[in-house]
Amino acid sequence: MKLCIYPGTFDPFTNGHLDVLQRAAKLFKHVRVAVAIDSTKKPLFSPEKRVELIRANLRGLPNVDVTSFDGLLVEFARKEKAVAIIRGLRALSDFEFEFNMALMNRHLEPKVETIFVMPNESYSYTSSSLVKQIAKLGGDVRKFVPANVAQALRKAYPKK
């Protein structure tokens, strides 16, 4: 069974991430969303909460599941017997970071390919940190994230 891993911090999961996931689900027999526990970022949501927020959006995607992982992504991919890692490329600005990460991962584990997909261009300016910033300042983020994520953000940043 060809398994692909879709890793990320997902703090929080956005409609752009969902778009990438829907595309990946068409390409692979099985896709496992992998929420990174170790992150250089300081996530707002706990790994458990991020997993829960993603899981609620997997209806209609029977070949997708979600879990969290600790440590090196390639170790996790190897353990899961994944053949590929999928990442979204929103714009040219994503390229350098993604290119370096893909090459480093290939160096660490040559058997796992990194595959890039382009989300719909309407998501090219969506990012988790912008969404959090807007929510924190009381703005409406419902266009950018699934309903349960918008609700979780409202709870995390109650109106003053």
Count of beta carbons in the 10 Å neighbourhood of residue 55 = 16
Q: Any idea which residue has 């969902």 for tokens? A: 18
Cβ-proximal residues to 138 (8 Å cutoff; 6+ apart), any chain: 157, 159
Residue 129, interface with ligand COA (CB under 6 A)? yes
Residue 133, interface with ligand COA (CB under 6 A)? no
Residue 6, interface with ligand COA (CB under 6 A)? no
> Residues 4, 5, 16, 31: which binds ligand COA (CB under 6 A)?
16
User: In whole angstroms, what is the distance from residue 47 CA to residue 43 CA?
Assistant: 9
Which x/- pattern, by CB under 6 A, does the window 54-93 give for ligand COA? ------------------xx--------------x-x---
Structure tokens at 21: 């996931």
Q: What is the DSSP string of 77-89?
A: HHHTT-SEEEEE-
Please identify every residue annotated as catalytic.
Answer: 17, 41, 90, 128
Contacting residues toward ligand COA, per CB under 6 A: 7-10, 14, 16-17, 20, 36, 38, 72-73, 88, 90, 101, 104-105, 119, 123, 126-129
